[in-house]
Structure 1
């Protein structure tokens, strides 16, 4: 199965896509494109692919031939390094990731229709209270960090997650000449959506901000507060009419913000990225964890579960793509421009 490193990801995306379609049919609720405001997927995906294609060629072309000779260098790079197999692998990685993401968003939206019997917010709120020695963690952070400037900083960081994750995927897919590395990262990220969906159904919660909003009333208005308001309004509208245009997006356990960032950090560590990249990744994870509790997106156990999902996604992805036990090497070794096909093959690190 692992002779082609994308085999597992393709099977996973087909399976979760079929699951979303079956659930949609049985519930009588149409599937929706969660990011449809950016245009239809058949337009958006090719544009994203072309953007990453350009990002993978233009810097190399300028480095090789300067501004004047960049066009000629770009043609040489495409001829020597961009085989049809490489293009197909990148397309499969992007499409499979997108299928898993859209399926996850729709299955998450079906949550109040399928698991409407119980919520575990009260139990997890009590657990937070116990873990913090009789205190709720969010008010403690509000007292320590303040509710104005800190809210704006943490909100900016929290919302930066939305474009950063697909951006890192695109960069890994296009800049690495080793197909198994791109497949590993795409598979690991996609597994987050699948495992996260399972966690939503196992322990349905709303999250502190939606279960006990009074704890967060002192926070300054920010991009996060606007997002929470939008999610609440859309959630109410969806429950009133599931066949309408809105999608339900409220779920606490587990934190996929944390799980996906943990996945990125562990992938950077296991592929031996430069210290600056690894430090930036772990720093962003620390700020993300703070933000999830500060704004009431998640309980403490949500973040712990998210970290476990992130670790599991990287480990399963490594096994599924033939990278289990792989020695640490910098991904940069795979992204150096090669002058010939044989040189490109030599630059690909060994997989054990």
Structure 2
């Protein structure tokens, strides 16, 4: 078949169109609104952390996770997701251009696909959202670290009483231990609870890079920023340590899991920080009201539901949410009212993010700029490919 053969051209355009796909970017008005909300949340949370650091004389920390420091972890995850978005598409596109099947051709194809899929008006909001998320999270962790130096007392006794009231005079953790057992269930719920540590950074990158509508990804990340900010405020509103810290004997029968190891590490870190706040790399991470595990997973599940993700994804997220709620009570991380407050925070964050991104009335309706220059870029890719092969 010749170069101008209609079937060949059709096959070429089909491969290029699949490589580029459709890129939908929020309108300029909503980009400015959502980024202002995300940046504003980061500025307030990070600013309060700086003020607290100066006032208390405690240095700011960038808390490390088991995936490494946040300033390395988040950019690395986003970069990997960008590569996963571009490279397979570039390789697929070469199917229509056998004359370019070489290492140099793959590099050229990857460059063309990256330019087509990631114009500045799409890439800049993603980078700003990631930076806002990181700053907000670091501010949140430092504000959490300052908590025991500002509030020496706690409301654990009142929250224990609320647990007994809501559980009709019973200890809710003991009920779960009796119903679910303390062996196999402990390992399952520990896996769910610890999985959250990977879920949060990965879900941020996936939402911003792989979701078809950028407004949905910005909605999710902005809502997470609000979760951290509102969560930090709730810690100061009702300071508490949680059942595992206030009533440790209620959880001694549980099998040893990664969660019990994490709890022991948190107690140890709190003691170290209280004895010497200047110790490097250590932060106090114990706070009960409200549950940010619950609020964040509820935020993710609710947004996935509202934007109409496939049924399997929606069911998986609601199952993850339900198991997370159980794990917080089962291991004594939180009281019942902590989880209820977490759901309230998640709901508020989802609503505010929907307003900012233009998804408030109908999440299925996308309000985006005219993307004809991006949607039509398959032709531009083919033109560049023919020029390169000439």
Alpha-carbon distance between aligned partners in 2 of 1:340 and 1:74, rounded to the nearest angstrom = 18
Alignment partner of 2:360: what SS? coil
State the match for 2:187 in structure 1. Answer: 152
Question: Is 2:247 the counterpart of 1:218?
Answer: no
Alpha-carbon distance between aligned partners in 2 of 1:19 and 1:198, rounded to the nearest angstrom = 11
State the match for 1:311 in structure 2. Answer: 347
Larger CA Rg, structure 1 vs 2:
2
Count of residue pairs the alignment pairs up: 337
The correspondence for 1:35, drawn from 30, 55, 64, is 64
Q: Indicate the RMSD between aligned Cα atoms, in angstroms.
A: 2.4
State the match for 2:163 in structure 1. Answer: 128
State the match for 1:23 in structure 2. Answer: 52
TM-score, length-scaled by structure 1: 0.89
The correspondence for 1:85, drawn from 121, 134, 152, is 121
State the match for 1:192 in structure 2. Answer: 227
Question: Is 2:148 the counterpart of 1:112?
Answer: yes
TM-score, length-scaled by structure 2: 0.81
Alpha-carbon distance between aligned partners in 2 of 1:149 and 1:243, rounded to the nearest angstrom = 40
State the match for 1:341 in structure 2. Answer: 374
Higher relative contact order (CA 8 A, sep 6+): 2
State the match for 1:239 in structure 2. Answer: 274
CA contact (8 A) 1:93 1:182 kept: no
1:342 to partner: Cα distance: 3.8
State the match for 1:171 in structure 2. Answer: 206
The farther-off stretch of 204-213 and 30-39 is 30-39
Alpha-carbon distance between aligned partners in 2 of 1:37 and 1:169, rounded to the nearest angstrom = 18
Q: Which sections of structure 2, spanning at least 5 residues, go unmatched?
A: 1-28, 378-390
1:87 to partner: Cα distance: 1.9
The correspondence for 2:293, drawn from 251, 257, 278, is 257
The farther-off stretch of 175-184 and 132-141 is 175-184
CA contact (8 A) 2:77 2:201 kept: no
The farther-off stretch of 73-82 and 92-101 is 73-82
Cα shift readout 1:270-298 (whole Å, capped 9, x = no counterpart): 11111111100000001000100000000
- Describe the shift of the 1:307–1:66 C-alpha distance in structure 2 as closer, same or farther (beyond 3 A): farther
